[in-house]
Amino acid sequence: MRATTTTVLESSPLTVRELARAVGAEDQWVLRLVEVEILHVDTPSEPPERWHFRSADLQRALAARRLERDFGANLDTAALVLDLQAELRRLRALLGAHGLA
Amino acid sequence: MDFKDYYSALGVARDASDDDIRKAYRKLARKYHPDVSKEADADAKMRDINEARDVLQDKEKRAAYDQLADHVARGGSPDGGFRQPPPGWDEGFEFHRGPGQGPADHADFSDFFSSIFGSRGGMGGSTQRGPYRERGEDHHAAIEISLEDALHGAERQLSLRAQEIDANGRPHLVNRTLDVKIPAGVRPGQYIRLAGQGLPGHGGEPAGDLYLEVRIAPHKLYRIEGHDLYMTLPVTPTEAALGAQVTVPTPAGGHVDVTIPKGARNGMKLRIKERGLPGKTPGHLYLLLEIALPPANSEAARAAYEQLAKAAPFNPRQHLGA
């Protein structure tokens, strides 16, 4: 079988519905992620039908889904964990940039 | 294929309660989480405990697994290994995906798991609930490419094992090969979406999509940090002390002349603008200077070192009070 359509999310971002499907969730769950600022949308004043999500959003949504499932975390706690993880990775990258990693 | 003991993977007894399993899983998941674990095999351990939890926290899967474990304990195969579940082992069981289980969950599970529960962890075809229409689920996998492929784009073949539904409505595993176009400028952590290559739909509904997370294999020269690339650039003491023009290779191919400033120090970072990963905001290429000493392996080299010591007396341990 051959793949016919290949797109990178940076050039073809996902809608709320598509992101929800990609993580096996309901649309409402994606809206909650925006509400607790796990996901950020460029145009929050626009209706959700016009929101778009890229690779980093899919990565965070998948990570939030795992935290919810694996540790019973609520989405506010998941948001904090994801922010701390991002900070940890930023600091590690900084160490790497100075040859200290 | 080895038979996997999911109870010992989580360190729980065969009669462990759901609560015991949940507690054991959470403890181990914290221990082996890739962001905090110092264990060398943390990734493999995390996969094992995820797989064990997936089976043992699902009543139907656990009951079926227990029945299979009893069968293996009674006799198993002659070499003590596990090949395939015996025919009819799952009779009377129907597996469902539980709430909160994303479609990515089973992508990395073992052959043993797939041989029992299929690649998505369900065998719901054993009991049909009547005709229904549903779009296929999206599926996730990862693809590792070279830095060169990421910079220039490429076409790669990807072998995946996926679940298909046969004429009797039962799922079975098939191997399939996909041709994947890697667009130039793709970065680690980005997702490539292959429309219609996820799980098949039901009742004439379309198949889901396949999402591939891009990973870039370690490179012998360059290290990736976000959009930027880092390379160690060896320079001689003379080049570092007096300054020099040196030629360095660039990730996209070709070479560029770089000025080493006079009095350069070990670990100094030089930036070559926009020669990192391409994109709307291109990354930079950083060169970390590393001073390499010429070997004192000839009479002339030894004499030159001695002459330097006389001409430029220098105590690098002065700050130690030595």
Q: What are the tens digits of pLDDT across the range B46-91?
A: 888 988 998 898 888 888 888 888 888 877 653 445 555 555 555 4
A56: chain B residues, CB-CB within 8 Å: 189
The verdict on A97 touching B (C-beta cutoff 8 Å) is yes
Mean pLDDT of B96-116: 52
Are the beta carbons of A9 and B193 separated by less than 8 Å? Answer: yes
Which CATH fold topology does B222-320 show? Answer: HSP40/DNAj peptide-binding domain (2.60.260)
Are the beta carbons of B192 and A8 separated by less than 8 Å? Answer: yes
State residue B238's pLDDT score. 95
Q: Which amino acid is at A66?
A: R
Closest-CA distance, A69 to chain B, in angstroms, reads 6
Compute the distance between CA of residue B271 and CA of residue A101 in angstroms, rounded to an integer. 19
Compute the distance between CA of residue B33 and CA of residue B37 in angstroms, rounded to an integer. 6
Closest-CA distance, B67 to chain A, in angstroms, reads 26
- B207-266 pLDDT, tens digit per residue, is 899 999 999 999 999 998 888 999 999 999 999 999 999 999 998 888 999 999 999 999
The verdict on B191 touching A (C-beta cutoff 8 Å) is yes
B101: chain A residues, CB-CB within 8 Å: 24, 69
* A94, closest residue in chain B (CA to CA): B225
Closest-CA distance, A12 to chain B, in angstroms, reads 9
List residues bridging with B257 in a β-sheet. B247
- Walk across the sheet containing B285-291 and list its strands: B222-225, B228-235, B285-291, B269-272
Q: Is A50's pLDDT higher than 90?
A: yes
Q: Where are the domains of chain B?
A: 1-124, 135-217, 222-320
Answer with the residue of higher pLDDT: B110 or B266: B266
Are the beta carbons of A6 and B191 separated by less than 8 Å? Answer: no
pLDDT band of B305, cuts 50, 70, 90? very high
State residue B120's pLDDT score. 47
For B1-124, CATH gives: 1.10.287.110
Query: Same CATH topology for B1-124 and B222-320?
Result: no
The verdict on A43 touching B (C-beta cutoff 8 Å) is no
State residue B8's pLDDT score. 93
Nearest to B137 among A6, A24, A62 (CB): A24
Nearest to A70 among B29, B223, B269 (CB): B29
B223: chain A residues, CB-CB within 8 Å: 96
* B227, closest residue in chain A (CA to CA): A93
Mean pLDDT of B202-211: 88
Q: Beta strand pairing status for B255-260 and B244-249?
A: antiparallel
B225: chain A residues, CB-CB within 8 Å: 93, 96-97
Mean pLDDT of B173-184: 84
A11: chain B residues, CB-CB within 8 Å: 183
Closest-CA distance, B282 to chain A, in angstroms, reads 14
| Domains of chain A (ranges, CATH numbers) | 16-97 (1.10.1660.10)
Q: Is A40's pLDDT higher than 80?
A: yes
pLDDT band of A49, cuts 50, 70, 90? very high
The verdict on B288 touching A (C-beta cutoff 8 Å) is yes
B271: chain A residues, CB-CB within 8 Å: none
Quick one: CATH architecture of B135-217?
Answer: Sandwich (2.60)
State residue A98's pLDDT score. 73
Mean of the per-residue pLDDT values of chain B: 82
- B281-304 pLDDT, tens digit per residue, is 889 999 999 999 999 999 999 999
State residue B86's pLDDT score. 56
B267: chain A residues, CB-CB within 8 Å: 98-99
Residue whose entry in the numeric block shows the structure tokens 């009674």:
B74
Report for B13-17, B30-34, B118-122, B315-319: range of highest mean pLDDT: B13-17
pLDDT band of B97, cuts 50, 70, 90? very low
pLDDT band of B96, cuts 50, 70, 90? very low
A25: chain B residues, CB-CB within 8 Å: 102
Query: Which of the residues A30, A55, A83 would you substitute to probe the B interface, choosing the one with the greatest number of B C-beta atoms within 10 Å?
Result: A55
Compute the distance between CA of residue A7 and CA of residue A29 in angstroms, rounded to an integer. 25
State residue B261's pLDDT score. 97
- HEC string of chain B? CCCCCHHHHHCCCCCCCHHHHHHHHHHHHHHCCCCCCCCCCHHHHHHHHHHHHHHHCCHHHHHHHHHHHHHHHHCCCCCCCCCCCCCCCCCCCCCCCCCCCCCCCCCCCCHHHHHHHCCCCCCHHHCCCCCCCECCCCEEEEEEECHHHHHHCEEEEEEEEEEEECCCCCEEEEEEEEEEEECCCCCCCCEEEECCCCCCCECCCCCCCEEEEEEECCCCCEEEECCEEEEEEEECHHHHHHCEEEEEECCCCCEEEEEECCCCCCCCEEEECCCCCCCCCCCCEEEEEEECCCCCCCHHHHHHHHHHHHHCCCCCCHHHCC
Buried b (16+ CB within 10 A) or exposed e, B209-227: bbbbbbebeeeeebbbbeb
